[in-house]
Amino acid sequence: MFEILFLGTSASAPSAHRGLSSLLIQHEEFRFLVDCGEGTQRQILTAGVGFKRLNQILLTHGHLDHILGLGGLVSTFLRWDVIEEIEIFGTRHTLDRVHDLIFGVVLRGYQGKPPVILHEIKPGTFWEAERFTITAFPVEHRGSHSLGYRFEERIRRPFLVEAAESLEIPPGPWRRDLVNGQTVTLPDGRVIEPDQVLGEPIKGTSLAVVGDTGNAEKLLPYVQGVDALVIEATYIESEADLAEQFDHLTAARAAGLAARAQVGRLFLTHLSRRYRRRDILNEAQEIFPNVHVARDFDSFQIRREDD
C-alpha cells in the first residue's frame, strides 16, 4: 500500500486555495516528496505531517513552479537540525537549476560537509527497497528533460498458516526464513522448502506520478496497468489549442490515457485557476469514471483492487 498526500495542486502560480506542485508519497517507513513548489514547507506544516524522514525528494523537472520551494525547505532543515542529509533526485538538466538555487544561494558560505546530495538519474530503476522499487521514465515537456516515477511493490507470495500448522512448523525464525524464500531445517531434522508453505505470487500495488507533459501517448507503456495515476490536467478541451501551445494536457486527454492504460484510479492535479474544479471533473469522467480532481491536503491510500 502507498499513501499519497497532495500538498500543492495549482499550475504555474499559487491561488488562494491551491499551492504549487508538491506530492508526499509514503510506503511504511519511507517518505518521498515529489516536486517542491514555492511554499511547500508551509503546506507540510499545515498538513501536520512533519519533516521527520522527509529527506528524499524526487523532481519531475526543473521549472520554477516545481523547485522554488527547495530553498526555503533546505534553509529550515538547516536551522532546525531536523534532518542531517537531504537527497534530491532528478535529471542533469533539473539538477543544474537546483544546484544554482541551493549551492549558489541557500548554502553560499556554508562551512562543513554540504547536507544536500544531488543524484543524477536516468530512465530506469534507481531505488530498490525490500518491499518496493521506484523506476524513472521519460516525459516530454518543452525540452525540460522531465521524468515520471513509477512506484511498485514487489511480487509477494503469502504465507499459508494452515500449511505451516499441518507441517508442525513452530513459530519463530523458521517461518520468517520460509517467508523470505529460504529452505529451513527444523529442530527435529526435517527440511522444509518455501513452496510447501507459500501461496501463488501476488502482484504488488503500483503508482505512477507524472508532472507536466503535453504528450500522453508516449506515457502509455510506463503507466500501463498501475493502480493509480497522478497526472496534470492544466486545461480543458475547449482550450486545447492553449494546451498544445504550452505543452500541457487537457482533462480529457489525461482521462483518455488512463482509459487506454487501464489504470485503477486517476488523480488530476496541476490545475489552472481559469476553471472550476467541476469543469475538470465533468470532462474527465465522460471518458474515465474513476477520477478524482485533487485539492490541497487530499490524502488517499492506494491499494490493489483485489486486495
Contacts of 229 (CB under 8 A, 6+ apart): 207, 208, 210, 223, 257, 258, 261, 263, 265, 266, 267
Is 279 a known active-site residue?
no
Surface-to-core class of residue 24, CB atoms within 10 Å of its CB (0-12 exposed, 13-18 middle, 19+ buried):
buried
The pair phi, psi for residue 35, each rounded to 5°, is 70, 155
Nearest to 61 by CA among 270, 300, 271: 270
Cite the annotated binding site by residue number. 61, 63, 65-66, 141, 212, 270
Surface-to-core class of residue 300, CB atoms within 10 Å of its CB (0-12 exposed, 13-18 middle, 19+ buried):
middle
Cite the annotated binding site for Zn(2+) by residue number. 61, 63, 65-66, 141, 212, 270
Crossing angle of the two packed helices 251-261 and 277-285, in degrees rounded to 10: 40
Looking at residue 238, the DSSP 8-state letter turns out to be G
Active-site option among 35, 65, 227, 296: 65
Q: Cell 511504511 identifies what position?
A: 28
Contact 268, 294 (CB under 8 A): yes
Q: Cell 526543473 identifies what position?
A: 62
Nearest to 121 by CA among 147, 151, 83: 147
Count Cβ atoms below 10 Å from residue 161 Cβ, excluding itself.
Answer: 11
What residue type is assigned to position 187 of the chain? P
Hey, which residues are catalytic here?
65
